[in-house]
Amino acid sequence: MSRTIHLDAPSVGRLEKKYLAKAIDSGYISSIGPFVRDFEERFASYLDVRMAVSTQSGTAALHMALCGLGIGKGDEVIVPSLTFIATVNPVLYVGAKPVFVDVDPHTWNMDPGSVAKKVNKKTRAIIPVHLYGNPCDMDGIMRIARKYGLRVIEDATESLGAKHSNRHTGTIGDLGCFSFNGNKIMTTGGGGMVTGNDEKVLRRIKFLVNQAREDGGGYYHPEVGFNYRMTNIEAAIGLAQLSRLESFLGKKSMFRDIYTDGLGKVPGIEFQAEIRKASSSHWLTCAKFKSGAIASRVQTELKAMSIATRRLFMPLTKLPPYESMASGSFSNSEDIYEKGLCLPSSILNSGSDIRRVCRAIKEALGET
Protein backbone atom coordinates (compact mmCIF):
# COMPACT_ATOMS: atom_id res chain seq x y z
CA MET A 1 0.00 0.00 0.00
CA SER A 2 1.21 3.52 -0.81
CA ARG A 3 2.27 5.84 1.98
CA THR A 4 -0.65 8.09 2.97
CA ILE A 5 -0.18 11.75 2.09
CA HIS A 6 -2.15 13.85 4.55
CA LEU A 7 -4.38 16.83 3.88
CA ASP A 8 -4.19 18.72 7.19
CA ALA A 9 -3.21 16.32 10.00
CA PRO A 10 -1.33 17.97 12.92
CA SER A 11 2.21 17.35 14.13
CA VAL A 12 2.08 16.48 17.84
CA GLY A 13 5.03 14.76 19.48
CA ARG A 14 7.52 14.66 22.33
CA LEU A 15 7.43 18.33 23.26
CA GLU A 16 3.64 18.34 23.50
CA LYS A 17 3.77 15.22 25.68
CA LYS A 18 6.30 16.94 27.95
CA TYR A 19 4.06 19.99 28.42
CA LEU A 20 1.00 17.79 28.93
CA ALA A 21 2.80 15.87 31.66
CA LYS A 22 3.61 19.17 33.39
CA ALA A 23 -0.03 20.21 33.28
CA ILE A 24 -1.21 16.87 34.67
CA ASP A 25 1.45 16.80 37.37
CA SER A 26 0.49 20.33 38.46
CA GLY A 27 -3.05 19.16 39.20
CA TYR A 28 -4.50 21.90 37.00
CA ILE A 29 -6.23 20.21 34.09
CA SER A 30 -9.38 22.29 33.67
CA SER A 31 -9.91 26.00 32.98
CA ILE A 32 -7.80 27.20 35.90
CA GLY A 33 -4.04 26.92 35.68
CA PRO A 34 -0.81 28.80 34.92
CA PHE A 35 -0.45 27.55 31.36
CA VAL A 36 -3.58 29.43 30.25
CA ARG A 37 -2.18 32.79 31.31
CA ASP A 38 1.26 31.95 29.92
CA PHE A 39 -0.17 30.90 26.57
CA GLU A 40 -2.26 34.07 26.27
CA GLU A 41 0.74 36.26 27.09
CA ARG A 42 3.10 34.49 24.70
CA PHE A 43 0.53 34.51 21.92
CA ALA A 44 -0.02 38.25 22.36
CA SER A 45 3.74 38.77 22.32
CA TYR A 46 4.11 36.76 19.11
CA LEU A 47 1.49 38.93 17.39
CA ASP A 48 2.77 42.14 19.03
CA VAL A 49 -0.60 43.09 20.50
CA ARG A 50 -1.48 44.20 24.02
CA MET A 51 -3.78 41.35 24.96
CA ALA A 52 -5.06 37.92 23.97
CA VAL A 53 -7.99 36.02 25.51
CA SER A 54 -8.20 32.25 25.04
CA THR A 55 -11.49 30.55 24.22
CA GLN A 56 -12.97 27.11 23.73
CA SER A 57 -12.88 27.34 19.92
CA GLY A 58 -12.42 29.68 16.99
CA THR A 59 -16.21 29.92 16.73
CA ALA A 60 -16.37 31.00 20.37
CA ALA A 61 -13.69 33.60 19.65
CA LEU A 62 -15.80 35.11 16.87
CA HIS A 63 -18.91 35.01 19.06
CA MET A 64 -17.12 36.79 21.89
CA ALA A 65 -15.60 39.36 19.54
CA LEU A 66 -19.09 40.34 18.40
CA CYS A 67 -20.33 40.47 21.99
CA GLY A 68 -17.31 42.46 23.11
CA LEU A 69 -17.94 45.10 20.45
CA GLY A 70 -21.64 45.32 21.28
CA ILE A 71 -22.94 43.91 18.01
CA GLY A 72 -26.52 42.68 18.42
CA LYS A 73 -30.14 42.73 17.37
CA GLY A 74 -30.91 45.09 14.49
CA ASP A 75 -27.27 45.33 13.39
CA GLU A 76 -25.87 44.14 10.08
CA VAL A 77 -22.47 42.52 9.61
CA ILE A 78 -20.82 42.22 6.19
CA VAL A 79 -19.30 38.79 5.55
CA PRO A 80 -17.86 36.92 2.52
CA SER A 81 -19.95 34.26 0.84
CA LEU A 82 -16.96 31.90 0.46
CA THR A 83 -15.90 30.79 3.93
CA PHE A 84 -16.50 28.11 6.55
CA ILE A 85 -19.93 28.39 8.16
CA ALA A 86 -18.39 29.11 11.59
CA THR A 87 -17.51 32.62 10.38
CA VAL A 88 -21.15 33.58 10.09
CA ASN A 89 -23.04 31.48 12.64
CA PRO A 90 -21.93 33.77 15.53
CA VAL A 91 -23.55 36.72 13.75
CA LEU A 92 -26.87 34.94 14.24
CA TYR A 93 -25.94 33.99 17.80
CA VAL A 94 -25.92 37.69 18.75
CA GLY A 95 -29.14 38.43 16.85
CA ALA A 96 -27.50 40.41 14.04
CA LYS A 97 -27.99 39.91 10.30
CA PRO A 98 -25.18 38.69 8.01
CA VAL A 99 -24.92 40.56 4.72
CA PHE A 100 -23.03 38.55 2.10
CA VAL A 101 -20.59 39.83 -0.51
CA ASP A 102 -18.88 37.95 -3.31
CA VAL A 103 -15.12 37.33 -3.33
CA ASP A 104 -12.35 38.41 -5.67
CA PRO A 105 -11.84 35.76 -8.39
CA HIS A 106 -8.06 35.76 -7.94
CA THR A 107 -7.45 36.02 -4.17
CA TRP A 108 -10.75 34.26 -3.26
CA ASN A 109 -11.16 36.84 -0.49
CA MET A 110 -13.69 39.55 0.33
CA ASP A 111 -13.71 42.26 -2.33
CA PRO A 112 -13.60 45.78 -0.79
CA GLY A 113 -15.54 47.21 -3.74
CA SER A 114 -18.39 44.81 -3.04
CA VAL A 115 -18.25 45.65 0.67
CA ALA A 116 -18.67 49.37 0.01
CA LYS A 117 -21.85 48.72 -1.99
CA LYS A 118 -23.46 46.85 0.93
CA VAL A 119 -22.93 49.46 3.63
CA ASN A 120 -26.08 51.11 4.96
CA LYS A 121 -27.30 52.76 8.15
CA LYS A 122 -27.70 49.38 9.88
CA THR A 123 -24.16 48.18 9.12
CA ARG A 124 -22.05 47.91 12.26
CA ALA A 125 -19.16 45.60 11.38
CA ILE A 126 -17.17 43.77 8.71
CA ILE A 127 -15.70 40.29 9.14
CA PRO A 128 -12.95 39.76 6.55
CA VAL A 129 -11.77 36.14 6.31
CA HIS A 130 -8.16 35.40 5.38
CA LEU A 131 -9.22 32.33 3.44
CA TYR A 132 -6.89 29.32 3.59
CA GLY A 133 -4.26 31.58 5.18
CA ASN A 134 -4.25 34.22 2.40
CA PRO A 135 -4.54 37.82 3.70
CA CYS A 136 -7.40 40.01 2.52
CA ASP A 137 -6.96 43.50 1.11
CA MET A 138 -6.97 45.00 4.57
CA ASP A 139 -6.02 48.48 3.32
CA GLY A 140 -9.21 48.62 1.27
CA ILE A 141 -11.36 47.13 4.03
CA MET A 142 -9.98 49.46 6.71
CA ARG A 143 -10.57 52.52 4.51
CA ILE A 144 -14.24 51.57 4.23
CA ALA A 145 -14.44 50.91 7.98
CA ARG A 146 -12.95 54.30 8.83
CA LYS A 147 -15.17 56.10 6.32
CA TYR A 148 -18.38 54.69 7.79
CA GLY A 149 -17.33 54.16 11.42
CA LEU A 150 -17.52 50.36 11.26
CA ARG A 151 -15.90 47.74 13.45
CA VAL A 152 -13.61 45.15 11.86
CA ILE A 153 -13.28 41.62 13.26
CA GLU A 154 -10.65 39.64 11.39
CA ASP A 155 -11.39 35.96 10.97
CA ALA A 156 -7.75 34.88 11.12
CA THR A 157 -8.64 31.33 12.15
CA GLU A 158 -6.78 29.94 9.13
CA SER A 159 -4.03 32.53 8.83
CA LEU A 160 -1.82 32.44 11.92
CA GLY A 161 1.60 33.65 10.79
CA ALA A 162 0.35 35.45 7.68
CA LYS A 163 1.20 39.13 7.31
CA HIS A 164 -0.15 42.23 5.59
CA SER A 165 2.20 45.24 5.36
CA ASN A 166 4.47 43.53 7.91
CA ARG A 167 1.63 43.22 10.43
CA HIS A 168 0.20 39.88 11.45
CA THR A 169 -3.31 39.09 10.30
CA GLY A 170 -5.59 39.34 13.31
CA THR A 171 -3.91 42.58 14.49
CA ILE A 172 -5.10 45.07 11.87
CA GLY A 173 -8.83 45.35 12.65
CA ASP A 174 -10.43 46.03 16.03
CA LEU A 175 -10.14 42.38 17.02
CA GLY A 176 -8.63 39.21 15.56
CA CYS A 177 -9.92 35.67 16.01
CA PHE A 178 -7.86 32.49 15.77
CA SER A 179 -8.60 28.76 15.84
CA PHE A 180 -6.48 25.93 17.25
CA ASN A 181 -8.58 23.09 15.94
CA GLY A 182 -6.71 19.89 15.13
CA ASN A 183 -6.37 20.76 11.45
CA LYS A 184 -5.09 24.31 11.85
CA ILE A 185 -1.49 25.55 11.53
CA MET A 186 -0.96 24.93 15.24
CA THR A 187 -3.35 23.12 17.54
CA THR A 188 -4.41 22.81 21.15
CA GLY A 189 -6.77 19.98 20.24
CA GLY A 190 -9.52 22.59 20.08
CA GLY A 191 -9.51 26.14 21.35
CA GLY A 192 -9.27 29.65 19.99
CA MET A 193 -8.06 33.16 20.78
CA VAL A 194 -9.31 36.74 20.55
CA THR A 195 -6.57 39.35 20.13
CA GLY A 196 -6.27 43.11 19.95
CA ASN A 197 -5.07 46.34 21.53
CA ASP A 198 -8.28 47.61 23.16
CA GLU A 199 -7.74 46.21 26.65
CA LYS A 200 -11.14 47.40 27.87
CA VAL A 201 -12.94 45.34 25.22
CA LEU A 202 -10.69 42.33 25.75
CA ARG A 203 -11.13 42.42 29.53
CA ARG A 204 -14.87 42.37 28.96
CA ILE A 205 -14.46 39.33 26.70
CA LYS A 206 -12.37 37.63 29.39
CA PHE A 207 -15.18 38.33 31.83
CA LEU A 208 -17.85 36.95 29.49
CA VAL A 209 -16.04 33.67 28.68
CA ASN A 210 -15.96 32.86 32.42
CA GLN A 211 -19.75 32.85 32.89
CA ALA A 212 -19.62 36.63 33.52
CA ARG A 213 -18.24 35.92 36.97
CA GLU A 214 -16.73 38.84 38.84
CA ASP A 215 -13.21 38.56 40.22
CA GLY A 216 -12.64 38.34 43.94
CA GLY A 217 -14.14 34.96 44.72
CA GLY A 218 -17.67 33.88 45.31
CA TYR A 219 -20.29 33.28 42.68
CA TYR A 220 -21.59 36.69 41.71
CA HIS A 221 -22.65 36.94 38.05
CA PRO A 222 -24.09 40.36 37.14
CA GLU A 223 -25.14 39.24 33.63
CA VAL A 224 -25.45 36.19 31.39
CA GLY A 225 -22.06 34.86 30.36
CA PHE A 226 -20.61 31.84 28.57
CA ASN A 227 -18.54 28.80 29.45
CA TYR A 228 -15.98 29.42 26.72
CA ARG A 229 -12.72 29.04 28.65
CA MET A 230 -9.68 27.17 27.40
CA THR A 231 -8.37 24.41 29.68
CA ASN A 232 -4.90 24.29 31.20
CA ILE A 233 -4.24 21.06 29.28
CA GLU A 234 -5.12 22.71 25.97
CA ALA A 235 -2.94 25.70 26.80
CA ALA A 236 -0.02 23.39 27.61
CA ILE A 237 -0.26 21.87 24.14
CA GLY A 238 -0.55 25.38 22.71
CA LEU A 239 2.68 26.52 24.35
CA ALA A 240 4.55 23.57 22.86
CA GLN A 241 3.02 24.18 19.43
CA LEU A 242 3.72 27.91 19.55
CA SER A 243 7.43 27.19 20.07
CA ARG A 244 7.35 25.14 16.85
CA LEU A 245 5.22 27.56 14.83
CA GLU A 246 7.99 29.04 12.68
CA SER A 247 9.07 25.58 11.55
CA PHE A 248 5.44 24.77 10.68
CA LEU A 249 5.15 27.95 8.62
CA GLY A 250 8.42 27.26 6.86
CA LYS A 251 7.25 23.85 5.78
CA LYS A 252 3.87 25.16 4.59
CA SER A 253 5.66 27.76 2.48
CA MET A 254 7.97 25.11 1.03
CA PHE A 255 4.96 23.01 0.02
CA ARG A 256 3.36 25.99 -1.73
CA ASP A 257 6.59 26.59 -3.69
CA ILE A 258 6.73 22.94 -4.75
CA TYR A 259 3.14 23.07 -5.93
CA THR A 260 3.57 26.27 -7.91
CA ASP A 261 6.87 25.13 -9.40
CA GLY A 262 5.44 21.73 -10.30
CA LEU A 263 1.97 22.74 -11.47
CA GLY A 264 2.07 26.48 -12.13
CA LYS A 265 2.62 26.09 -15.86
CA VAL A 266 0.11 23.27 -16.35
CA PRO A 267 -2.80 24.53 -18.49
CA GLY A 268 -6.07 24.72 -16.59
CA ILE A 269 -4.62 25.01 -13.05
CA GLU A 270 -4.79 28.26 -11.05
CA PHE A 271 -3.65 28.97 -7.50
CA GLN A 272 -5.00 31.47 -5.00
CA ALA A 273 -3.25 34.80 -5.66
CA GLU A 274 -1.61 36.91 -2.95
CA ILE A 275 -2.07 40.66 -2.95
CA ARG A 276 0.90 43.01 -2.97
CA LYS A 277 2.32 43.65 0.52
CA ALA A 278 0.88 40.38 1.85
CA SER A 279 2.34 36.96 2.62
CA SER A 280 0.13 33.92 3.21
CA SER A 281 0.56 31.36 5.97
CA HIS A 282 -0.39 28.74 3.33
CA TRP A 283 -2.55 26.81 5.78
CA LEU A 284 -3.89 24.89 2.80
CA THR A 285 -2.62 25.18 -0.75
CA CYS A 286 -5.65 24.98 -3.01
CA ALA A 287 -5.95 24.74 -6.78
CA LYS A 288 -8.70 25.68 -9.18
CA PHE A 289 -9.16 23.45 -12.24
CA LYS A 290 -10.79 24.09 -15.60
CA SER A 291 -14.07 22.49 -14.54
CA GLY A 292 -15.81 20.84 -11.64
CA ALA A 293 -15.73 17.51 -13.47
CA ILE A 294 -11.95 17.70 -13.76
CA ALA A 295 -11.58 18.60 -10.07
CA SER A 296 -13.74 15.59 -9.14
CA ARG A 297 -11.74 13.27 -11.39
CA VAL A 298 -8.44 14.46 -9.92
CA GLN A 299 -9.78 13.95 -6.40
CA THR A 300 -10.95 10.42 -7.19
CA GLU A 301 -7.66 9.40 -8.79
CA LEU A 302 -5.61 10.85 -5.93
CA LYS A 303 -7.74 9.06 -3.35
CA ALA A 304 -6.95 5.74 -5.03
CA MET A 305 -3.27 6.57 -4.47
CA SER A 306 -3.77 7.33 -0.72
CA ILE A 307 -3.48 11.07 -1.37
CA ALA A 308 -6.01 13.03 0.69
CA THR A 309 -7.76 16.09 -0.73
CA ARG A 310 -11.06 17.85 -0.14
CA ARG A 311 -13.36 20.22 -1.95
CA LEU A 312 -13.44 23.88 -1.02
CA PHE A 313 -16.01 25.40 1.34
CA MET A 314 -19.45 25.54 -0.22
CA PRO A 315 -20.62 29.17 -0.53
CA LEU A 316 -22.79 29.99 2.47
CA THR A 317 -25.31 31.56 0.13
CA LYS A 318 -26.02 28.01 -1.11
CA LEU A 319 -26.70 26.57 2.36
CA PRO A 320 -30.22 26.31 3.87
CA PRO A 321 -29.62 28.59 6.91
CA TYR A 322 -28.42 31.46 4.71
CA GLU A 323 -29.78 30.97 1.20
CA SER A 324 -32.82 33.15 1.84
CA MET A 325 -30.60 35.96 3.14
CA ALA A 326 -28.50 36.16 -0.02
CA SER A 327 -29.02 39.14 -2.29
CA GLY A 328 -27.12 39.67 -5.53
CA SER A 329 -24.66 37.58 -7.54
CA PHE A 330 -22.06 35.31 -5.97
CA SER A 331 -20.72 33.90 -9.23
CA ASN A 332 -17.06 34.10 -8.21
CA SER A 333 -17.64 32.14 -5.00
CA GLU A 334 -19.67 29.54 -6.86
CA ASP A 335 -17.08 29.16 -9.63
CA ILE A 336 -14.19 28.77 -7.18
CA TYR A 337 -16.12 26.23 -5.12
CA GLU A 338 -17.19 24.24 -8.15
CA LYS A 339 -13.68 23.97 -9.61
CA GLY A 340 -11.49 24.07 -6.50
CA LEU A 341 -9.62 21.40 -4.57
CA CYS A 342 -7.62 21.61 -1.32
CA LEU A 343 -4.31 19.83 -1.79
CA PRO A 344 -2.25 17.95 0.84
CA SER A 345 -0.66 20.54 3.13
CA SER A 346 -0.10 18.71 6.42
CA ILE A 347 3.32 19.25 7.97
CA LEU A 348 3.47 15.49 8.48
CA ASN A 349 4.19 15.30 4.76
CA SER A 350 7.64 15.70 3.21
CA GLY A 351 8.79 17.62 0.19
CA SER A 352 9.02 14.38 -1.75
CA ASP A 353 5.38 13.65 -0.81
CA ILE A 354 4.27 16.95 -2.32
CA ARG A 355 6.29 16.32 -5.47
CA ARG A 356 4.51 12.97 -5.72
CA VAL A 357 1.18 14.81 -5.51
CA CYS A 358 2.26 17.08 -8.36
CA ARG A 359 3.15 14.08 -10.52
CA ALA A 360 -0.16 12.39 -9.71
CA ILE A 361 -2.15 15.49 -10.67
CA LYS A 362 -0.29 15.81 -13.95
CA GLU A 363 -0.94 12.16 -14.68
CA ALA A 364 -4.65 12.65 -13.94
CA LEU A 365 -4.68 15.57 -16.38
CA GLY A 366 -2.71 13.68 -19.04
CA GLU A 367 0.21 16.10 -18.73
CA THR A 368 3.04 13.59 -18.18
Give me the amino acid identity at 190: G
184 is catalytic: yes
Q: What pLDDT is recorded for position 117? A: 96
Catalytically annotated residue among 184, 206, 251, 252: 184
Give me the amino acid identity at 250: G
Q: What pLDDT is recorded for position 365? A: 94
CA-nearest of 96, 107, 147, 97 to 130 is 107
CA-nearest of 61, 47, 260 to 161 is 47
- Main-chain dihedrals φ then ψ at residue 23, nearest 5 degrees: -65, -45
- Under DSSP, the state recorded for 181 is B
Q: What pLDDT is recorded for position 31? A: 67
pLDDT tens column, 276-307: 999 999 999 999 999 999 999 999 999 999 99
∠ CA(253), CA(134), CA(203), 5° rounding? 110
> From its phi and psi, is residue 273 left (phi > 0), alpha (psi between -120 and 50) or beta?
beta
The DSSP annotation for 33-77 comes to SHHHHHHHHHHHHHHT-SEEEEES-HHHHHHHHHHHTT--TT-EE
CA-nearest of 108, 83, 113 to 98 is 83
Distance in angstroms (rounded) separating the CA atoms of residues 91 and 122 = 14
pLDDT, mean of each 10-residue run, the chain (368 residues) = 87 94 82 87 98 98 98 98 98 98 97 96 98 98 98 98 97 98 95 98 96 84 93 95 97 98 95 95 98 97 97 97 93 98 98 97 88
Burial of 135 (0-12, 13-18, 19+ CB in 10 A): buried
Residue 358 to residues 280, 293, 305, 362, Cα–Cα distance (Å): 21, 19, 12, 6
The helices-and-strands tally (H runs, E runs) of the chain is 12, 14
pLDDT tens column, 61-76: 999 999 999 999 999 9
Q: What is the pTM of this model?
A: 0.95
CB 222 within 8 Å of CB 82: no
Which domains, ranges and CATH numbers included, belong to the chain? 14-243 (3.40.640.10), 245-364 (3.90.1150.10)
CA-nearest of 261, 271, 266 to 351 is 261
CA-nearest of 239, 245, 293 to 268 is 293
Enclosing H/E stretch for 249: helix 245-263
CB 223 within 8 Å of CB 318: no
